[in-house]
Amino acid sequence: MLSRALISARPRPVKGWYVVMGGINSQNGSADWIACLTYKSTATATPSASDLDFLVAKARARNNRLGVTGMLLFENGCFLQTLEGPPTALESLWSSIQRDGRHNHIEVLSEHIVTARLFSDWDLLLDGRMDDLPRKPHPAAIAPPAMAEHIDRLVELSLNGDDLGLNTLVAGFADDGWTSDAILSLLIEPAARAMGDAWLDDLCSEIDLTIGLSMLQLAGHAVRYIPSPQTIRNSHYRVLLATAPGEAHMLGTTLLADQFLDAGWQVDMAFPTSEEALTNQVNAQHPDALDIGLSEALPRQHALASLRTTIEHSRLVAAEHPTVISVGGRLFADAVATAQSVGADHARKGVAGTSIRLAELVQQNRKR
Ligand SMILES: Cc1cc2nc3c(=O)[nH]c(=O)nc-3n(C[C@H](O)[C@H](O)[C@H](O)COP(=O)(O)O)c2cc1C
Q: From atom 21 of ligand 1, which residue's Cα is the shortest distance away?
A: 96
Residue 11 covered by a domain = no
Domain membership of residue 267 as a residue range: 229-367
Do 275 and 360 lie in one domain? The reply is yes
- Which pLDDT tens digit goes with each residue over 186-217? 889 989 999 999 999 889 888 888 888 888 98
Would you say the C-alpha torsion 154, 160, 165, 167 has a positive or negative sign?
A: positive
Instruction: Pick the more confident residue, 182 or 278.
Output: 278
Alpha-carbon distance of 130 to 18, in angstroms, equals 9
pLDDT per position as a tens digit, 39-92? 888 899 988 878 887 888 888 888 888 888 777 777 667 787 878 788 889 999
Task: Using the 3D structure, point to which of 159, 194, 222 is the last residue of a domain.
Answer: 222
Check residue 287 and give its pLDDT.
95
Please tell me the predicted confidence (pLDDT) of residue 233: 56
Closest-CA residue to 362 (of 323, 313, 333): 323
pTM over 0.75: no
Q: How many separate domains does the chain show? A: 3
Residues 124 and 171 in one domain: no
Taking the centre of ligand 1 as the mean of its atom positions, its distance from the CA of residue 59, in whole angstroms, is 6
Residue with CA closest to ligand 1 atom 6: 59
Amino acid 133: pLDDT: 30
Q: Is residue 6 part of a domain?
A: no
Give the integer Cα–Cα distance in Å for 290 and 358: 9
Decide if 8 is inside a domain: no
Atom of ligand 1 minimally distant from the CA of 97: 17
Is 5 among the domain residues? no
**12 assigned to some structural domain:** no
Q: What is the mean pLDDT of residues 311-315?
A: 96
Let me know whether 105 and 212 are in one domain.
no
Is the pLDDT confidence value at 260 over 70?
Answer: yes
Alpha carbon of 12 to ligand 1 centroid (Å): 21
Whether the per-residue pLDDT at 27 is higher than 70: the answer is no
| CATH number of 264's domain | 3.40.50.280
For residues 69 and 159, state if they share a domain.
no
pLDDT at 123: 34
Q: What is the structure's pLDDT at 79?
A: 81
Tell me the CATH number at 172: 1.10.1240.10
Residues 175, 193, single domain; the answer is: yes
Q: Give the number of the atom of ligand 1 that is nearest the alpha carbon of residue 61.
A: 11
Higher pLDDT, 5 or 157: 157
- Distance in angstroms (rounded) separating the CA atoms of residues 91 and 260: 27
Give the binding-site residues of ligand 1, using a 6 Å CB cut-off.
41, 55, 59, 62-63, 72, 79, 81, 83, 93, 96-97, 100, 102-103
**Where among 190, 222, 254 does a domain terminate?**
222
- The 3-state secondary structure of the chain reads CHHHHHHHHCCCCCCCCEEEEECCCCCCCCCCCEEEEEEEEEECCCCCHHHHHHHHHHHHHHHHHHCCEEEEEEECCEEEEEEEECHHHHHHHHHHHHHCCCEEEEEEEEEEEECCCCCCCCCCCCCHHHCCCCCCCCCCCCCCCCHHHHHHHHHHHHHCCCHHHHHHHHHHHHHCCCCHHHHHHHHHHHHHHHHHHHHHCCCCCHHHHHHHHHHHHHHHHHCCCCCCHHHCCCCCCEEEEEECCCCCCCHHHHHHHHHHHHCCCEEEEECCCCHHHHHHHHHHHCCCEEEEECCCCCCCHHHHHHHHHHHHHHHHHCCCCCCEEEEECHHHHCCCCCHHHHCCCEECCCCCCHHHHHHHHHHHHHHC
In a domain, 9, yes or no: no
Residue 40: closest CA among 110, 128, 127: 110
- Whether residues 140 and 156 share a domain: the answer is no
Same domain assignment for residues 89 and 172:
no
What does the mean pLDDT of the chain come to? Answer: 77
Residues 100-129 have pLDDT tens digits of: 999 999 988 777 766 555 554 443 343 323
Q: Does residue 44 lie within any of the structural domains? A: yes
Q: Which atom of ligand 1 is nearest to the CA of 103?
A: 31
The answer to whether residues 90 and 167 belong to one domain is no
Domain boundary among 129, 144, 159: 144
Residue 61 to residue 259: CA distance in whole angstroms: 34
153 plus 78 within the same structural domain: no
User: Is residue 2, in this structure, part of any structural domain at all?
Assistant: no
Residue among 37, 51, 46, 3 at smallest CA distance from 106: 37
Task: Give the position, in ligand 1's atom list, of the atom nearest the Cα of 21.
Answer: 8
186: which residues sit within 8 A by CB, 6+ positions away? Answer: 118, 147, 178
What gap in Å lies between CA 17 and CA 77, rounded to an integer?
10
Q: Which of 93, 94, 95, 107 to mutate to test the pocket of ligand 1 (most atoms within 8 A of CB)?
A: 93
Please tell me whether residues 131 and 39 are part of one structural domain. Answer: yes
Q: What is the CATH number of the domain that holds 130?
A: 3.30.70.100
Pair (27, 121) in one structural domain? yes
Is residue 152 predicted with pLDDT exceeding 80?
A: yes
Q: Are residues 125 and 169 in the same domain?
A: no
The full length of the chain comes to 368
